[in-house]
Amino acid sequence: MWIEKEISIAEIETLLSNGYEVEVDSPDGYVPVNFFINKGMYEEYQLNLNNGVKIKCNESHLFETTESWVSAKQIEQSKSTYKFITNDGIEIGRVYKNNNQIPIVDINVNHPNHRYYTNGVSSHNTGVGKSLFMCHVAASVLLQGRNVLYITLEMAEERIAERIDANLLNIPIQQLNELPKQMFETKVNSLAKKTQGTFIIKEYPTASAHSGHFKALLNELALKKSFRPHIIFIDYLNICASSRFKGGSNINSYTLVKSIAEELRGLAVEFNVPIVSATQTTRSGFCLDLKTQVQTLQGLKDISNIQVGDFVLSNTGYNEVMNVFPKTKKKSYRITLEDGKEIICSEEHLFPTENGELNIKGGLEGGMCLYVK
């Protein structure tokens, strides 16, 4: 038996620990909760929407806007208003920084888009271990006497440093601030005897830095600090910017991420250094009508007949199909263009527009222009 009601996010921990299955509302419908995480104390940031909705969060919390995923810190520093995707459509709001420390919790949901509604605003859930994994490997490389450069676009430098310290000192991160000073100094001195490597962390705002910025950073570190990394970690690929495609370009997410990956590979080759990053490789099957026509190397096919390994036409040429999502039933919408073209889709299906990728549920309206073949 399922019970539908609004609860605080903290109550989810109790429900999960008592054996309940929990699903939360999201732009993709109700999605299962994998786990709950207590992140500790952070500086307080607050989102204020024009409709009166308020959300307290930390600086790295990601909100979904009509432009892209944007962190609370990035929004606050811009001193600008953004258009946020909510369960009631698009709402305008700003983020303010308060001089308070508040406990921060989050959940992880079982859906490729990793998002759910918080007070009705689409938010990115906690990661499934990308940063933890890279911090663990970075600490391991440092212990081997290598120089490590860690570039973060998601978490603050201080949070990354805490995770690295916890790895190096071999203690739970929750105990880091409680470690007696003498014991801390003893552990650090012991580590200093084991490695001659140097570790540098550099933070950029989400989606603001690309390979050009990273190249300038490497040149600056070499010139001013005589620092040349043996390995670079970038946390993480999907929230980097592209030096070739600017924000708002009429490209899909696949093309953008592919471009970023190619640029980072070029950077790795130029500086002869391995670059480690992480990416979200799956996207939701946002749902098109089964008879939607797709151009393949063998001619037009209904999308329901497309198989893994087929090559389908996109704005970057023919690309191989890597995954086919199962068929599901959803409420459908018919979009008609002024030239008579029609397409039937769900309210979650994303279309590239001049204002970024939009769907019917998140701001796609009559009068907007869609890109056609």
- Which is nearest to 123 in space by CA: 175, 55, 220, 191? 55
**pLDDT for the residue numbered 323:** 66
Is the model's pLDDT at 362 over the cut of 80?
no
Is 90 exceeded by the pLDDT of residue 188?
Answer: no
Looking at the structure of the chain, the number of domains it has is 3
> pLDDT of 319-341, one tens digit each?
888 767 666 677 889 999 999 99
Look at residues 124, 157, 179 and tell me which one is the last residue of a structural domain: 124
Examine the fold and report which residue of 77, 104, 124 is the final residue of a domain before the chain moves on.
124
Token pair in block for residue 309: 């390994």
Nearest to 329 by CA among 307, 344, 343, 346: 346
Q: For residues 77-90, give the mean pLDDT.
A: 92
Does 297 share its domain with 271?
Answer: no
Whether residues 143 and 21 share a domain: the answer is no
Asked whether residue 273 falls in the same domain as residue 139, the answer is: yes
* 118 and 154, same domain (yes or no): no
Per cent of the chain over pLDDT 90 is 36
* pLDDT for position 231: 96
Assigned domain for 262 exists: yes
pLDDT at residue 237, rounded to an integer: 85
Q: Which residue has the higher pLDDT, 157 or 200?
A: 200
With vertex at residue 254, the alpha carbon angle to CA 249 and CA 260, rounded to the nearest 5 degrees, is: 75
Predicted pLDDT of residue 151: 95
The two three-digit tokens of residue 155, written as one number: 């978490």
User: Domain end: 246, 277, 308, which one?
Assistant: 277
- Whether 220 shows a pLDDT value over 90: the answer reads yes
Cβ contacts of residue 149 below 8 Å, gap of 6+?
Answer: 200, 202, 217, 218, 221, 227, 229, 231, 232, 233
115 and 141 share a domain? no
214 and 337 belong to one structural domain: no
Task: Give dist(CA 247, CA 356) in Å, integer.
Answer: 8
d(CA 49, CA 298): 50
Considering the domain architecture, whether residues 236 and 157 belong to the same structural domain is answered as yes
The 10s digit of each residue's pLDDT in 226-245 is 999 999 999 888 778 888 87
Tokens of 81: 């208003």
SS3 166: helix
Segment 114-142 shows an average pLDDT of: 83
Residue 281: pLDDT above 60?
Answer: no
Which of 20-34, 174-188, 246-260, 269-283 is predicted most confidently?
20-34
Same domain, 175 and 68: no
pLDDT value at residue 146: 92
Provide the pLDDT for residue 206.
76
Q: Residue 97's domain is classified under what CATH number?
A: 2.170.16.10
Which span out of 81-95, 248-262, 278-292 was modeled with the highest average pLDDT?
81-95
- In this model, does residue 351 exceed pLDDT 90? no
Residues 191 and 266 in one domain: yes
The model's confidence at residue 358, banded by pLDDT at 50, 70 and 90, is: confident
Pairing state between β 148-152 and 199-203: parallel
Supply the mean pLDDT for the chain: 85
Q: By residue range, what is the domain housing residue 31? A: 9-124
| Cα-Cα-Cα-Cα dihedral sign, residues 100, 116, 12, 131 | negative
Q: Per-residue pLDDT for 283 more than 50?
A: no
Q: Is residue 373 part of a domain?
A: no
Same domain, 97 and 139: no
Please indicate, yes or no, if residue 75 is contained in any of the structural domains.
Answer: yes
Model confidence at 304, pLDDT cuts 50, 70, 90, reads: confident
Average pLDDT estimate for 194-199: 85
Let me know: does 52 contact 33? Beta carbons within 8 Å: no
pLDDT top residue among 112 and 270: 270
pLDDT at 190: 83
Q: Is residue 120 part of a domain?
A: yes
Q: Based on the fold, state whether residues 117 and 158 are members of the same structural domain.
A: no
pLDDT-derived band at 282, boundaries 50, 70, 90: very low
Q: Is residue 27 included in any domain, yes or no?
A: yes
Residues 320 and 261 in one domain: no
Give the side-chain half-sphere CA count within 13 A for 31.
22
Examine residue 367 and state whether it is found in any structural domain, yes or no: no
